[in-house]
Structures are given as structure tokens and as C-alpha cells.
With several copies, the nearest count.
Chain A
Amino acid sequence: MTTTSKSTSRKLTIARAMAEAMAQEMRLDPRVFVMGEDVGPLGGVFGNTRGLFEEFGAERVRDTPISETAFIGAAVGAASDGMRPIVELMFVDFFGVCMDAIYNLMAKNTYFSGGKVKVPLVLMTSTGGGYSDAGQHSQCLYGTFAHLPGMKVVAPSNAYDAKGLMTAAIRDDNPVVFMYHKSLQGMGWLGTEKGATVPVPEESYTVEIGKAAVVREGHDVTLASLAAGVHHCLRAAKILEEGGFSAEVVDLRSLVPLDRETLRESVAKTGRLIVVDEDYHSYGVSGEIIASVAEYSGCRLKAAPQRVAYPDIPIPFAPTMEQWALPNADKVVAAFHEMMKENRGENS
């Protein structure tokens, strides 16, 4: 199902790419509908439902009360009854008010029913900081969602993947958590990562959930990341190139399923691994990626793997502190140079 043609040169932001994927699926399939806070006339606080209310009306683009437990639970009930809801949890930071509906209900009903009840539901939610929204509005929580079985988890780094993953998510018969990073949305007021706004075909296409992409080839080190982190890696790779080193960048795209093969192949080639993760350092994505490589005896590492992750602290408001704590290209470059000091010989 994956189409890789990028025939068009039309560039879209992730916000518009998401909205376009939803609109196309809503035109095709009357069972698809959207609900969440401010997804209607406002078009989503992060712009990802813009235009949907105007085209599909209040029945299919439903503003909800601030009742995440009820409306996500309701989405599960609707999905089990034949609908294909797309629900928005405005900030992933709010998961705590509704996690039961997400992980005990949405993620488990298929299993509990022995596969007889399907839950085709997309839960889209914004992640990430960097604009001083402080500790309850800036988290990524990738690890929190990826840890709990029964839901797929994707996090695109650019508009092409965002559209393709959204279409794939809507067509998937399973719950898919679609995590979009605010700094990539292309909403001016959140700053804009230019690299996220890329050519997007007008026609509908899917990007397969569960496949990582090698977005830059190299042979000295593997930089593995997702969403905003991919752009830090790409910038770091450029800096490293200037220094004569060649970095491979793996965009995980999907945390569940996790494409360990692509990751391991890359590290088997480069012999070095740096994981870049805006989620908290411990017990999360960075640990899992490193472990996935370490436990695989096919990878002989030339140096201990490193991670550039968010420290284990709540996210501070003051920009000085927040920016200092966030991953960035310089930290990745520094980690690489640190790594090069270690000499394990060729097969350590």
C-alpha cells in the first residue's frame, strides 16, 4: 500500500497534511468522523482539523465537552459498533485524566474479545516543548504510550509521512496513537521546523505503520530518533559531515510496532549508536532502542551507545532552562565526539 511517489512539488505543513488525510478518508468512508476539544469551527488548536467542520459539518466533526474519559471511551464504543473515529487528546500531557479509557479499554478490547471486537480508532495528540509552555504542556511521553501493549504508536517527522501515516492509521482496524510534535506542525505561532514541511502528493497514499526510514545514509554512526528529534539528527549529521564524519539517520516513525530490523541493520553497519529522544531519559524510548541493539548479538559496537534525551525532570517554564534541557544538534555532535574517544577495537 505504500506509495513513495512524490510527483507533486506542493509542500504542506504537517497540520495540513493531517487534515487532508482525514478529509480524504471522510469522503471515502462515512464511518470516519472526528471528535475532540475545539476540533470543530476552530479547526483544532494545532490546526490539524482545519476545514473539516466546513466540509463535513457538526455531526462528523464534533466538538466535545472537556471530558476526555467520556469521549475517548465513547470513541471506543463507537469504533466497536462499526464507526471509525478519530479522536483528539489536545496535549499528550493530559493523558492522565483519561488513560484508563485509552489503555484499559481502547488498547485491550480486541484482546479481551478474542479478536472479535475491533477498535479502529485514531487517537491523535500533540507532543513536545520548546516554546515555554511549561511542565503540563510540553511533554512527549512517547515511552508511556509505547510501553503499554495493544495500541500502535506513530510519530511522524514530516508532512509526507504524516499524511501517509494518518491515512494508514484511519484504515487500520486497530487503535493507533498518532503523536504529532508541535514544533513540526507548521503553525507559525509555534515556530516552524522547515524540514517538516515537505512535498505531499494530493492523492491519497499510505505509509506503512511499523517501518522506520533511513532518511540519510552514513557509515560512522547511527543517529536514531523520531519526530522533532529527526531534525536535530539531520542537522547534527551535516555538522559531522563538515568534520569528515558520515552519520546515518534513522527516523523510527513508528514506536509500536518498532522496526528493530532497520535499526539493527544500520548499527551493524556503522558500529555506533546515538539515540535522540525528547521524552524523559529513563525507562523510555532511548533505553529501549539501546537495549534492542545491545541484546542483538549481530551488532558489534565500536563504542558504548549514547543517548541524548530529556533529563528526568519536569519541564521548566523559563526558556533558558528549557532550551538547555532539550536535545539539539550540538548535543548529538558532542555525544559523537565523546564516543570517538573510546577505542574498543573493531569487535567490542
Chain B
Amino acid sequence: MQPTTEQRLWMYRHMVLSRYLEERIEELYMEGKTPVFNMAKGPIPGEMHLSNGQEPCAVGVCAHLTPDDIVTATHRPHHIAVAKGVDLDAMVAEIFGKATGLSGGRGGHMHLFDAAVNFSCSGIIGEGLGPAVGAALSRKMQGKPGVAVAFLGDGAANQGAFHESLNLAAVWRLPVVFVIEDNGWGISVPKQASTAVPRNDRRASGYDIPGMHVADNDVEGVFAMAGEAIARAREGQGPSLIEIETSRLAGHFMGDGEEYRPKGEKERLEQRDPIPRYRQQLLDIGALDETSDAELVERAQTRIEAAIRFAQQSEFLPPEAALEEVFA
């Protein structure tokens, strides 16, 4: 399955949007955190897991989804949220904890919920899988269209929830796709020290479902595999599992010293940064030229800056609002 030019540009644009967002968050996050790094300080306090490098997973999958389809993402959710079409203003405002945020600042960066595009994420490893299965069940029972996609990390593939959810989805033949973003790390622990198989797509056969693999963080490889898996799901042929070799260009979270990384790894990964690579690919096939690229990048930056401004200019909810929304 090959993307159309429009799809190619959509993917590229969303990669650029996402990356620029992360770069800006990185800067803003550090405000108030120098010279002494204290997570509690600055306009964006708390943990921050950046998605730099993992954009191909998000765009290659979400290119096939409509707002009606369901996505559950992880503690590292920004790129996926951007590609799923989460309201950018409200999302950035949520990351800043503002009243105008997706949930008024109650959730923060690990808890982004946008019901309008059926997006959610969570801070617990493997927690999104069950809900994706359930959303797919809901669609099947209601006879409504819709596919659910659960994103997870390679580390998450060793959680019990992974096994239970894949089995349940397979037994009930539900329209779900499980997408593993294999960045080779779970915080400081390398994949080979935590995962008994080199590739998790091999685990699909334990559920009698297709297992697919995308090497080298390849945008169009993701697009192709995800397209197949999502089409299968839409046609009622049940779940699939995809593992994507991707790269975590940043630390696990902001403030990570990354001493555990083998020397040179980071530089190597940066040289394979998927965004300049895909840009070059698009230039090579003529889907993009320098001018249209510059325009696209500028538009993306403008959009992100607007969202940041929106967030910065928004107010916080009054503190007592903490007591609200516990119950519907």
C-alpha cells in the first residue's frame, strides 16, 4: 500500500508539527528549571516524555484513521495526539495545566483526553490496551464503524495487560490494531535485557493474529503495514500486531542524564532522524520542493506558536476546581 501525495504531505506535515511542538515544549519546560533542575518548577512542571524520533509511528498509523476511530496512547503521547487530530490549543493548554486545557489542567501531559477525536492516553505501562479492546467491542456491538488502535512501547510488550488484551481481542475478533513503538529502551533498560524475543511481532502467532514488522523507522513502511492491519480490522477480520523500529532521540524524560546509553548511539540515531530523511524522500520523488517545504514548516511553526500563546495566555482554574469532575 502506497500513500498518495496528499497522504505523504499529510504525514510529513504532522511529523513537522509534532517535532516543532516537542522542541518548543523542551525550551518552555526548562524555564524556571535552570540553573537547578527541579521538576516542580516552571510553566510546565512534572514529568515530560518527548516523542522526538517516533513520529513515523504516529503518522503512518493515523493517516488511515478518521476522528471516529479510537486511539489509546502512552505516557509519550504528543506525536500520536497531533497525528490523531487532537485540538492543539486545548492540548498545549493542558500541558500547561490551564483552564482551557483538554481537562482544565487536571490531567497534564500524560493524561490527554479528547473525546471529539476519540483520543486518550495514560501514564501506566500497558494500560491503554484493554480500553482499546473495549472500544472496539463497543463498536462491534453497536454495529458502528470504527477501529481502535492501541499504541504501546516495546517495554510495555512485557506487561501482563499486553497478553490479556491481545488474547481477548483475538478471541472476540475485534477491530483493534496494536502498535508497538520499539525504541529499544524502557527508561534505562535496553530491549534485549527485558524482552525474550528480538521482535515482538513474533508474539502475534500466540494469538493467531497477523504480526507485522517495520524496520528502520520507515514512514511509508508504517503506512503500508498499518494500512493493511486497519483494513483487515475494518473488514471484520480481527486484530493485528505491528512492531515498528523507531528511535527515542531524547532522554526517557526531560532531565534524564542518559549515561546508560552506549557511546555514539545518540549521534547515530540523530543521523537517522526520520524527519530530514522523509523530507529528502519527498524531495527526491518530487512530492515536495524547497519552497513548499519551507512554507509547510513555517505554517506548522505558526500553528504551534499560536497554540503555545493560547496556553500561555489562558488562566488556571481556581484551585477549588480540583474537587470537581471526580464524578460525572
Contact = CB atoms under 8 A, between A and B. Distances in A.
Interface centre among B125, B158, B193, B327 (most CB of A within 10 A): B327
Contacts of B151: none
Contacts of B97: 132, 317-321
Interface in B90-135: 97-98, 101-111, 113, 115, 118, 120, 122-127, 129-135
A322 B104 CA distance: 13
Contact of B110 (A63, A73, A134): A134
A45 interface: yes
Interface in A203-247: none
A39 B41 CA distance: 26
B124 A136 contact: yes
Nearest to A100: B124
Contacts of B137: 74, 77-78, 83
Interface string B42-58: 00011100000000000
Contacts, number: 300
A290 interface: no
A41 B127 contact: no
A276 to B, nearest CB: 19
Nearest to B253: A45
Given A97-B161, A115-B328, A320-B97, A42 B316 contact: no
B178 to A, nearest CB: 12
Interface string A103-119: 01100011111111111
Given A113-B102, A317-B106, A67 B316 contact: no
A189 B130 contact: no
Interface in A29-65: 31, 33, 37-38, 40-42, 45, 59-60, 63-65
Contact of B123 (A65, A73, A96, A136): A136
Given A116-B115, A313-B323, A132 B130 contact: no
B216 interface: no
Nearest to B70: A81
A312 interface: yes
Contacts of A65: 155, 158, 164, 167-168, 171, 186, 189, 193-195
Contacts of B113: 109, 112-114, 116-117
A292 interface: no
B104 A114 contact: yes
Contacts of B131: 73-74, 76-77, 80, 105
Interface string A263-293: 0000000000000000000000000000000
Interface residues of B, number: 81
B38 A188 contact: yes
A106 B211 CA distance: 30
A254 interface: no
A191 B255 CA distance: 13
A324 B138 contact: no
A131 B39 contact: yes
Nearest to A323: B319
Interface string A319-347: 11111110000000000000000000000
A94 B156 CA distance: 13
Nearest to B146: A81
Given A149-B326, A188-B38, A72 B130 contact: yes
Contacts of A325: 319, 322
Contacts of A323: 319
A191 B38 contact: yes
B287 interface: no
A298 interface: no
B141 interface: yes
Given A65-B195, A80-B120, A131-B45, A100 B127 contact: yes
B322 A76 contact: no
Contacts of B38: 131, 188-191
Contacts of B148: 77
A111 B122 CA distance: 13
Given A69-B130, A113-B120, A324-B322, A318 B317 contact: yes
Contacts of A136: 110-111, 122-124
13 contacts: A65-B164, A66-B186, A69-B160, A69-B161, A73-B127, A80-B120, A81-B70, A114-B107, A132-B108, A134-B108, A134-B123, A174-B327, A318-B108
Interface of B: 36-40, 45-47, 70, 72, 97-98, 101-111, 113, 115, 118, 120, 122-127, 129-139, 141-142, 148, 155-156, 158-161, 164-165, 167-168, 171, 186-189, 193-195, 255, 259-260, 316-328
Given A115-B103, A115-B325, 15 more contacts: A37-B189, A42-B188, A65-B171, A67-B164, A67-B167, A77-B132, A104-B127, A114-B107, A117-B115, A132-B40, A133-B47, A134-B108, A135-B111, A137-B47, A311-B322
